[in-house]
Chain A
Amino acid sequence: MKNITTHQFSALLLITLLVFTSFSCYKEEFPGRPTVALVVKTLNNPFFNDMQTGAEEMARELEINLIVQAAEREVDVEQQVQIVENLIQRRVDAIMLTPSGSREVVPVIASANRNNIPIINLDTRVDADLLASDNAFVSTFIGSDNYEGGLIAGRYVGEQLNGVGKVAILEGIPGHETADSRQQGFLSGIGEYPGIEIVTSQTANWERNMGYTVFQNILQSFNDVQAVFAASDLMALGAVEAIASSGRDPDDIIVVGFDAHVEAVDAIRRGVMHATIAQNPYEIGRAGVEYAYKVLNGEDIPNNINVEIKLITRDNVDE
């Protein structure tokens, strides 16, 4: 009996594993060429899927191997740290990292430094102070300036309201570099219009559902709100749905998001949303691989590479 059960258990394990590893096992496309890894926050967000596509294309052009990994959950920085540790064990030649927590990844970056594996920081900046205090470093940062994007959004809202009005903010997760910079940028942009009042600023955790409920509550308490800036399109789309379900005219409230998510672009086209800030994740992914390749070839690269950012409105949405 012992034999049957142990065999059954291990057989189950082995079959499952063999089936899945056999058809999903990573194969080096270019044996003998360098292998770089792209570790993103999550792979179930179109933003990071675009980044992956850009990275894959550039990797093919440069004939280098690319591994793409992400934690199961976007907020799980501990699992992301484990993935980077495992890539260090696997001795990849370089790691491109979009940190799930800008501070929490510092120890594992220090560990990559000790193992002489260059880190290319993409999209979300690693905390500079903690890097310095751990004597750790990244080879370069490639991304769009979130602050700049927030600033553009702030100025747009100011212009649209002709400098007078009441504005709400849906924040990302506080303490996230991305969330904080976008919000700071927006506040500076809107600050150029002293007639505008920020009536409330609340977090919706980057989530669409929360964007919906939080903005529904905001509509209850501040029914004269004229514009909302959401630090991500998912939250903005939640707000758009809240406006629709409240029966208000979509033109009553200016909704500005961030990320140029496909659904947000579509919402702008349909006239239920007003603007979004387009980063170019595809370009970030391409540049990531390109500069990783340069680092591996011993070239000097700038420590900050800005990828263009632009405002998408109803006027230019079809371009």
Chain B
Amino acid sequence: MKQFFNNQNLDQIRQFGTFFGLIALCLLFTILSPYFFTTSNLLNVAQQSSIIAVISVGMTFVIITAGIDLSVGSVLAFSGVVMASVLHAGLPIPIGIIVGLGVGFSCGLLNGLLVSYGKIPPFIATLGMMSIARGAGLWFTDGRPISGFDDSFRYLATGEIFYIPVPVIIMIVVYVIAHLILTKTKMGRYTYAIGGNEKAAVLSGINIKLYLNIIYGIAGLLSALGAVMLTARLNSAQPIAGIMYELDAIAATVIGGTSLFGGKGTVIGTLIGALIIGVLRNGLNLLGVSSFIQQIVIGSVIIGAILLDTNLKMKKN
């Protein structure tokens, strides 16, 4: 917390702004609804935000490299149904999860290969994967959901450790690891370098292709982790799951201050962005506001966040 106040770095001011926005939002809903600021509702919001939050971590890495991943929702659905069929075949739960994560990672890696070696713009490569993974999931299941799992698997959604729901714990662990990777490791520095100035990154001897593959692979892997959480939560894996999740993930990332031009961004910002979207949906629901208005509000918040970015950039220059 102290860092926010002491450091005058623009990114951190931005992050503070987002954080302040989240607090202001919570205050507003606390005033408007007696049901908002209760322990059970706050845990409810955290749990509801957890899946999008986890997917958004991968999105943040990709966007920092000045890329985009439109396939996260489809990859989630495909890895979910593959995992579900492995579980239904009676194999142990860890095997099912590993296979699911493997499918997600492979789809992501394929995105990475198309972007790094194929030189296809990320928008197009992942747009293709979005359709391929969706089709693969539908074909694999004949369009039908795969439902009904053991309680020990569903524990990943229903369980609690010290009153904290397991999905929230998974989310926190993912964010801690991602934050450490981005801020403390070579890979983190390279991620920013690729997005900041790709040519300079090449000239300074960074193996861009390798790192792009890893980063898109991570995005796929985290989509698959989202699939594990969603499947456990709904007790069902649907081939039509995760439609348009890519937009929620992009929104969370952008609200969190990551620049679509690359080279700039933090996962903490993304977490706050995901929570802002979660709190908005929850609060507006509690107030009985129609879903049409909710869409207008969420859109306005995204634009508001970008306006702030442009504003900061102008001041910087």
Given contacts A73-B244, A75-B240, A91-B35, A17 and B28 within 8 Å (CB-CB): yes
- Select B148's contact among A16, A21, A77, A130, beta carbons within 8 Å: A130
CB pair A9 B304 closer than 8 Å: yes
Asked if A161 lies at the interface with its beta carbon under 8 angstroms from chain B, I say no
CB pair B145 A86 closer than 8 Å: no
CB pair B32 A25 closer than 8 Å: yes
Chain B residues, CB < 8 A from A24: 289-290, 293
Chain B residues, CB < 8 A from A83: 285
CB pair B291 A81 closer than 8 Å: no
Asked if B24 lies at the interface with its beta carbon under 8 angstroms from chain A, I say yes
CB pair A87 B235 closer than 8 Å: no
What 1/0 mask marks residues of chain A from 118 to 154 whose CB sits below 8 Å from any chain B CB?
Answer: 0000000001011001100000000000000000000
Stretch among B40-48, B122-130, B177-185 lining the A interface: B40-48
Given contacts A75-B243, A85-B44, A101 and B307 within 8 Å (CB-CB): no
CB pair A5 B13 closer than 8 Å: yes
Stretch among B85-93, B190-198, B294-302 lining the A interface: B294-302
Q: Considering only CB atoms, which chain A residue lies closest to B288 in the complex?
A: A26
Chain A residues, CB < 8 A from B142: 174
CB pair B17 A9 closer than 8 Å: yes
Stretch among B102-110, B217-225, B259-267, B308-316 lining the A interface: B308-316
Among A5, A73, A75, max chain B CB count under 10 A is at A5
Given contacts A5-B311, A82-B48, A103 and B291 within 8 Å (CB-CB): no
Asked if A10 lies at the interface with its beta carbon under 8 angstroms from chain B, I say yes
- In the assembled complex, the Cα of A81 lies from the Cα of B285 at a distance in Å of 12
Given contacts A13-B304, A14-B24, A104 and B145 within 8 Å (CB-CB): yes
- In the assembled complex, the Cα of A218 lies from the Cα of B44 at a distance in Å of 47
Chain A residues, CB < 8 A from B25: 13, 17
Q: How many residues of B contact A (CB 8 A)?
A: 65
Asked if A270 lies at the interface with its beta carbon under 8 angstroms from chain B, I say no
- In the assembled complex, the Cα of A133 lies from the Cα of B234 at a distance in Å of 14
- In the assembled complex, the Cα of A20 lies from the Cα of B296 at a distance in Å of 9
Chain A, 8-43, CB within 8 A of any chain B CB:
8-10, 12-14, 16-18, 20-21, 24-26, 43
Chain B residues, CB < 8 A from A129: 148
Chain A residues, CB < 8 A from B35: 89-91
Stretch among A63-71, A227-235, A305-313 lining the B interface: A63-71
Chain A residues, CB < 8 A from B304: 9, 12-13, 16
- Select A17's contact among B290, B297, B308, beta carbons within 8 Å: B297
CB pair B287 A87 closer than 8 Å: no
CB pair B235 A130 closer than 8 Å: yes
- In the assembled complex, the Cα of A237 lies from the Cα of B290 at a distance in Å of 29
- In the assembled complex, the Cα of A101 lies from the Cα of B290 at a distance in Å of 21
CB pair A12 B24 closer than 8 Å: no
Q: Considering only CB atoms, which chain B residue lies closest to A106 in the complex?
A: B235
Asked if A78 lies at the interface with its beta carbon under 8 angstroms from chain B, I say yes
What 1/0 mask marks residues of chain B from 9 to 44 whose CB sits below 8 Å from any chain A CB?
Answer: 000011011101100110010001101001011001
Chain A residues, CB < 8 A from B235: 103-104, 106-107, 130, 134
Q: Considering only CB atoms, which chain B residue lies closest to A25 in the complex?
A: B287
CB pair B18 A9 closer than 8 Å: yes
The contact size tier of chain A is 35 or more
Q: Considering only CB atoms, which chain B residue lies closest to A22 in the complex?
A: B32
What 1/0 mask marks residues of chain B from 144 to 161 whose CB sits below 8 Å from any chain A CB?
Answer: 110110000010011000
CB pair B143 A76 closer than 8 Å: no
- In the assembled complex, the Cα of A10 lies from the Cα of B285 at a distance in Å of 21
- Shortest CB-to-CB span from A115 to chain B, Å, is 10
- Shortest CB-to-CB span from B272 to chain A, Å, is 12
Chain B residues, CB < 8 A from A134: 235
Chain A residues, CB < 8 A from B44: 85-86, 89
- Shortest CB-to-CB span from B130 to chain A, Å, is 15
Given contacts A6-B20, A75-B240, A130-B148, A21 and B287 within 8 Å (CB-CB): yes
- Shortest CB-to-CB span from A191 to chain B, Å, is 22
Chain B residues, CB < 8 A from A18: 28
- In the assembled complex, the Cα of A86 lies from the Cα of B278 at a distance in Å of 11
Chain A residues, CB < 8 A from B145: 101, 103-104, 175
- In the assembled complex, the Cα of A10 lies from the Cα of B244 at a distance in Å of 27
What 1/0 mask marks residues of chain A from 84 to 114 whose CB sits below 8 Å from any chain B CB?
Answer: 0111011100000000010110110000000
- In the assembled complex, the Cα of A165 lies from the Cα of B191 at a distance in Å of 63
CB pair A127 B147 closer than 8 Å: yes
Chain A residues, CB < 8 A from B311: 5, 8
- Select B28's contact among A14, A106, A130, beta carbons within 8 Å: A14
CB pair B284 A21 closer than 8 Å: yes
Chain B residues, CB < 8 A from A104: 145, 147, 234-236, 238
- Shortest CB-to-CB span from A65 to chain B, Å, is 9
CB pair B148 A174 closer than 8 Å: no
Chain A residues, CB < 8 A from B95: none
19 A-B residue pairs with CB within 8 Å:
A2-B13, A2-B16, A5-B14, A5-B311, A6-B17, A8-B311, A12-B304, A16-B297, A20-B293, A26-B288, A70-B291, A77-B234, A77-B238, A86-B282, A86-B286, A103-B148, A103-B234, A130-B235, A175-B141
Not counting A1-B315, A24-B290, a sample of 10 additional A-B residue pairs whose C-beta atoms are within 8 angstroms of each other reads: A1-B13, A5-B14, A5-B312, A6-B13, A12-B304, A13-B301, A16-B300, A77-B234, A90-B33, A103-B235
